[in-house]
């Protein structure tokens, strides 16, 4: 019974978890696919680095082509990260007839359509479940479990770092800077956290989810709004609580008819919404289908073993296809042409916090601006600012188009009674 041979690119946090699972679950893998699995070679940058997992020295290499060009290797697992060089390595692996499993959401968001096309042409599998939401099987659920349904909306927390930071800020009133430092110390945030805290990581994941959920080629550049959490203030969170909301960095992919919207931004959710109770580094994705209704996928969004579990599950899928002789046949090209919503077709409620001159008629001027665009208010707070001739007004609007709302924001900044528009956030969940 010939073993299926694996080449592993990367032996960091996730790569170490892959080694552990393959070694410790051999009986389970043998039961699942009827043959053993062996890790034949492992690519590392530094041969001498101390690691948490043991790999025989003769299996370790610093030359990627020792893996790509090895005719004995059936499957390449990529967990080393990177975009352009990694794309070339995986293309060469596919062109040499090797199946590919990757956890690289950056790569799949930027070059996924090309890699999938080449995989299909070569009759190879390319699976990437671990690229979104770590150990949550969301991609497989969209492709297989919900294949017969028409997905209309996906909304969720897909970045554990920002969710950890916002949880601590909301619960304990901690500052952004101190919670970020704690997240870095615990390994939830990178030394350079920009991709996470400015929303780019979540945007890449949402483009992947939208492509699969809507069967439409959605690229990273199609994510209309990408905003992070670094500008969220303590006052924003206090007012959110006072008004019955919880702040989360929400990825949203919404379809109406044939047109879609994809965005990532700090969003206020009612405290009663299930996503409001998803805390710390956990991820969760709400999926709305025409037939199934609402479903929610919840679990650890990162970490060695949760992500490695998704990687090895993809490996099992490849191995089952190898035994059946159907590799490459599960790749389905997008069904629909890409059609993005215009700003006038995107609707939401909005939270606005502004500082105005504390004088008679100031609020009436502001109300008139919103009324001109037929935008009314759901909630209003007005408070004097201490030791100042200014007042603070906090508004939550009823539903408005993004086009009208952006015009209102510009007009607010231009009128004399408004000193400053301090913040503005989308409000989702239970929209009326």
CA distances to 3, 201, 229, 240, 278 from 248, in Å: 45, 15, 9, 11, 9
CA 301 – CA 103 distance, rounded (Å):
12
Q: Is 161 within 8 Å of 199 (Cβ atoms)?
A: no
Q: Is 253 within 8 Å of 128 (Cβ atoms)?
A: no
Within 10 Å of residue 216's Cβ, how many Cβ atoms?
20
CA 73 – CA 38 distance, rounded (Å):
10
Sequence-distant (≥ 6) Cβ neighbours of residue 34 within 8 angstroms:
1, 323
CA 172 – CA 192 distance, rounded (Å):
24
Please identify which of the residues 41, 105, 205, 248 carries the catalytic annotation.
205
Per the annotation, the verdict on 205 as an active-site residue is yes
Closest C-alpha among 416, 411, 373, 367 to residue 393:
367
Residue 18: which H helix or E strand, with range?
Answer: helix 13-24
Sequence-distant (≥ 6) Cβ neighbours of residue 80 within 8 angstroms:
9, 10, 12, 15, 43, 86
Distance between start and end Cα atoms, the chain: 61
- Residue 141 DSSP symbol: I
Closest C-alpha among 157, 163, 159, 164 to residue 250:
157
Residue 84: which H helix or E strand, with range?
Answer: helix 84-95
Tokens 């500008």 locate to 231
Radius of gyration for the alpha carbons in the chain, expressed in angstroms and rounded: 24
Identify each DSSP E strand in 191-235 by its residue range: 225-226
CA 216 – CA 253 distance, rounded (Å):
12
Strands ordered across the beta sheet of 37-43: 60-61, 37-43, 4-9, 75-78, 99-102, 126-127
Residues serving a catalytic function are 205
């Amino acid at each position: 019974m010939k073993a299926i041979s694996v080449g592993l690119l990367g032996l960091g946090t996730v790569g170490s978890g892959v080694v552990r699972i393959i070694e410790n679950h051999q009986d389970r893998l043998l039961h699942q696919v009827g043959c053993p699995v062996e890790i034949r070679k492992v690519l590392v940058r530094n041969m001498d680095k101390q690691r948490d997992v043991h790999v025989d020295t003769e299996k370790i290499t610093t030359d990627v082509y020792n893996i790509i060009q090895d005719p004995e290797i059936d499957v390449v697992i990529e967990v080393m990260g990177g975009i352009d060089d990694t794309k070339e390595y995986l293309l060469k692996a596919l062109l040499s007839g090797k199946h590919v499993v990757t956890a690289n959401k950056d790569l799949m968001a930027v070059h996924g359509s090309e890699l999938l096309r080449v995989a299909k042409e070569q009759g190879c599998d390319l699976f990437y479940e671990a690229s979104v939401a770590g150990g949550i099987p969301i991609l497989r659920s969209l492709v297989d479990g919900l294949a017969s349904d028409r997905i209309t909306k996906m909304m969720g927390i897909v970045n554990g770092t920002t969710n950890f930071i916002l949880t601590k800020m909301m619960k304990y009133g901690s500052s952004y800077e101190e919670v970020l430092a704690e997240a870095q110390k615990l390994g939830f945030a990178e030394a350079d956290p920009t991709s996470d805290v400015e929303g780019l990581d979540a945007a890449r994941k949402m483009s992947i989810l939208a492509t699969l959920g809507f069967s439409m080629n959605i690229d990273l550049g199609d994510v209309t709004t990408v905003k992070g959490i670094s500008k969220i203030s303590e006052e924003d969170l206090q007012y959110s609580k006072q008004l019955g909301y919880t702040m989360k960095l929400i990825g949203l992919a919404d379809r109406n008819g044939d047109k879609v919207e994809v965005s990532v931004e700090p969003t206020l959710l009612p405290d009663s919404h299930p996503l409001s109770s998803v805390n710390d580094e956990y991820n969760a994705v709400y999926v709305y289908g025409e037939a199934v209704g609402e479903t929610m996928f919840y679990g650890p969004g990162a970490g060695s073993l949760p992500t490695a579990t998704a990687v090895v599950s993809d490996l099992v899928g490849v191995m089952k296809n190898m035994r059946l002789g159907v590799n490459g046949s599960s790749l389905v090209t997008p069904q629909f042409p890409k059609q993005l919503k215009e700003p006038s077709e995107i609707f939401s409620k909005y939270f606005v916090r502004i500082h105005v001159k504390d004088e008679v008629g100031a609020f009436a001027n502001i109300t008139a601006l919103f009324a001109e665009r037929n935008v009314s208010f759901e909630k209003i707070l007005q408070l004097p600012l201490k030791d100042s001739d200014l007042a603070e007004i906090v508004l939550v609007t009823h539903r408005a188009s993004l086009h009208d709302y952006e015009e209102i924001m510009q007009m607010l900044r231009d009128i004399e009674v408004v000193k400053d528009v301090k913040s503005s956030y989308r409000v989702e969940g239970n929209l009326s």
